Amino acid sequence: MSRSSGRRYALSRNRRGPRDVPGRRITFPRSIFGSNRACRRTMKLMLRKDNHLTDQELLLAADGELSTRAAERVESHLAACWSCRTRKQQLDRAIGEFVREYGRNLDPQLPPADGPRALLKAQLAQLAETQRITSPYWFRAVSRKFSWATVAALCGLTAIAYFISEPWTKRQAVHMVAFAVPNPSLTPGATVLAGRSEVCQESNTNNRAVPVALQRKVFEEYGIAGADPRAYEVDYLVTPALGGADDIHNLWPHSYAATVWNASVKDALEDRLREMVCDGRLDLETAQREIATNWIDAYKKYFNTDRPLKRTR
């Protein structure tokens, strides 16, 4: 019988491999039998990018109300997804504007505290005077003794609390870390898609307020979660006045007074660079790159000095 008569050729048990069919010398491509790992990785990446974060997840992450595992997943997704980072910035900006509008409209409607406080003091004084007049002498004498005993006990407790808390306070002061430049692995800098004209037409050059939850996250990443927040400014590495983004990769705890290269000195550099960019003396991308790479070197370069000027401290 000829081979064209429809005879079927089965795989031989002693075949040399899964790609060899005896009698036909047909060799199948390896990709039919093998596992294409690159293809599977590509499909996983596509699924991950299409599965964007919801607004609820972004809001919970901003308030610090996610579990540790969920927060890590959100941070990992934000690092890889430009669309979700943009939506997160829009939500943070909307929350900040709402808080400012709320304070501007409702704070003036609150009654002043001076009137009720004065009335309360007058009523307490009147009550004390009434008790002094109507109470018998022996009761007033006993009350004075107990009052002095209470004062003495309070003084003793205050002294004990001071001696107990003093070593802890000293330890906290010793462990306070001075940050003059950010950690590049934590804060490489981030910018928005904006050109020179868009940056320079913005009249308000002050940095936007960083949400409290995001500030706590920055302190945790830098290992100073228990530090006094008044000693630091959660600063933008690339200021929004130069197109910097509201992103945790663009934020770091900058010391106020623990170093001469403090936040006030960097503010002077930001003003100088924005002025040069808007005057056309400096390219916007160059200003962003130099302040993100090493802002202290940039300060020395554009102020022509090796130390901070007195007028900028």
Spell out where 190-250 has E strands.
232-236
Rounded to whole angstroms, the Cα distance separating 27 from 31 reads 12
pLDDT-derived band at 304 (thresholds 50, 70, 90) equals very high
Residue 289 neighbours by CB distance under 10 Å: 14
Collect all residues with Cβ–Cβ distance below 8 Å to 193 and sequence separation of at least 6.
none
The average confidence (pLDDT) of the chain is: 75
pLDDT of residue 142: 46
Mean pLDDT of 123-148: 60
What residue spans of the chain are helical by DSSP H? 30-33, 37-50, 55-62, 68-80, 82-106, 114-134, 137-174, 196-200, 212-221, 263-278, 284-293, 295-303
The phi and psi torsions of 253 (rounded to 5 degrees) equal -85, 105
Rounded to whole angstroms, the Cα distance separating 19 from 119 reads 97
pTM of the predicted model, to two decimals?
0.45
Of 266, 298, 276, 89, the closest CA to residue 193 belongs to: 89
pLDDT of residue 74: 86
Indicate the helix (H) or strand (E) that contains 21. Answer: strand 20-21
Say if CB 242 and CB 206 are below 8 A apart. no
pLDDT tens track for 66-95 = 888 888 888 888 888 888 888 888 888 888
pLDDT tens track for 177-227 = 777 889 999 999 999 988 899 989 888 778 888 888 898 999 999 998 888
pLDDT tens track for 228-261 = 888 888 999 999 999 999 899 999 899 887 788 9
pLDDT of residue 22: 53
